[in-house]
Structure 1
Amino acid sequence: MTAPTVAFVCVQNAGRSQMATAFAEQETADRDLDVNVVTGGTRPADHVHENVVETMYDVGFDLSDRTPREVTFEEISGSDYVITMGCSAEDVCPAGWGGENRDWGLDDPHGQDAETTAEIRDEIQRRVAAFFDELEAEQ
């Protein structure tokens, strides 16, 4: 069985999808799962939002060296799971999808205060853990 590919996609790839990717990378390592994690945006920002960097640092993740990037059609069409963060699937990729699509409907942390950003972060962490519970059960 080939390793599943999971894409965490957002418009700017500067907040929610970056947090989800960091948590997914940790889940992959902690559970010793063979999962490919991809992240990107349709209109990437210049940098990860500062409040997101600070909030993730509070729970042991350093995102200060990460740079938002554009997700490619090939990455989306080749993914087994495409998880958008609160932007509709049509806004993220108007062409065909490769696998199962989920939209988590999360609030955008951009410009939010530390408490609200931490709440969004914690919800992302819960959702990523639950998603990896599903992946682990399938492997």
Structure 2
Amino acid sequence: MTTPPQLSSNQQLNQIIDQLLVQFAGRFGAETIRRHVHESYLALHREATVMTHLYVLTQRFVTERLTALAQVNGYIPKVEVEVLYVCGGNAGRSQMAAALTRKYGGDWLHVRTAGTRPAAGIHPPVVTALAEVGLLPAMEFPKPLTDEFVQAADVVVTMGCGDACAIHPGRRYLDWELEDPCGQSLAGVRRIRDAIDERVRLLVAELQQPVPL
């Protein structure tokens, strides 16, 4: 990727790069980290309607990407089952599935989400429907699907994104046919939430590690 001059001289992005160089010292070099920061910033910037938190979200997104890449390369040992939920906007179905999975899963399970066409933010009725069952996705945000996320996953669950998700050997792929909550009433979103809840419970039960005797 050719870096636009304005990114190379962006002080806030350079601060993120410096922090990640410390965090991932011995795992990734400056060029890899710089490329991921600039790619991630541009990907989030394309969909952003409010720039206030863009740098914070960029740092979180890049950290997720580099952590996944470190897992794929064996730099960080995988001690958790990794589940990736993918939908179109990463603003409804995948966010509800992730929140419910975290609720029912334990320390042995880690969840990521992504979208093939990320929205600008999580749909407000989705936030309300999750709050009704005690779940607040306040720290979550729509993010684009990346190859690192797919490669690091043990299970990839797609919801309405067709064949846009890359296929890698050794992963379990599931496709859940669910309505898109975008544009739905709160009652409709509740119905989708409950359908996801049922599927998540079954998936977590299947993935649950046996308790040692």
The interval holding the TM-score normalised by the smaller chain is: 0.7 to 0.9
How high is the TM-score relative to the length of structure 2? Answer: 0.58
Normalised by the size of structure 1, how large is the TM-score? 0.87
Identity across the alignment (%): 37
CA apart distance, 1:68? 0.8
Tell me the equivalent position of 1:75.
Answer: 149
Distance in 2, matches of 1:85 and 1:44, equals: 13
- The structure that has the greater radius of gyration is 2
Deviation for aligned residue 1:66: 2.4
Structure 2 alignment gaps of length 5 or more: 1-77
Aligned residues: 134
Counterparts of 2:169 and 2:115, CA distance in 1: 15
Pairing 1:45-60 to 2, within 5 Å after superposition: 45-60=119-134
Unpaired runs of 5+ residues, structure 1, are none
Pairs within 5 Å for 1:1-139: 2-28=79-105, 32-88=106-162, 90-91=163-164, 93-94=165-166, 96=168, 98-136=170-208
- Classify 1:15/1:98 alpha carbon distance in 2 versus 1 (closer, same or farther; 3 Å): farther
Contact conserved, 2:83 with 2:112, CA < 8 A, in 1? yes
- Runs of at least 4 residues off by over 4 Å: none
Deviation at residue 97 of structure 1 after TM alignment: 5.5
User: What RMSD, in angstroms, separates the aligned Cα atoms of the two structures?
Assistant: 1.9
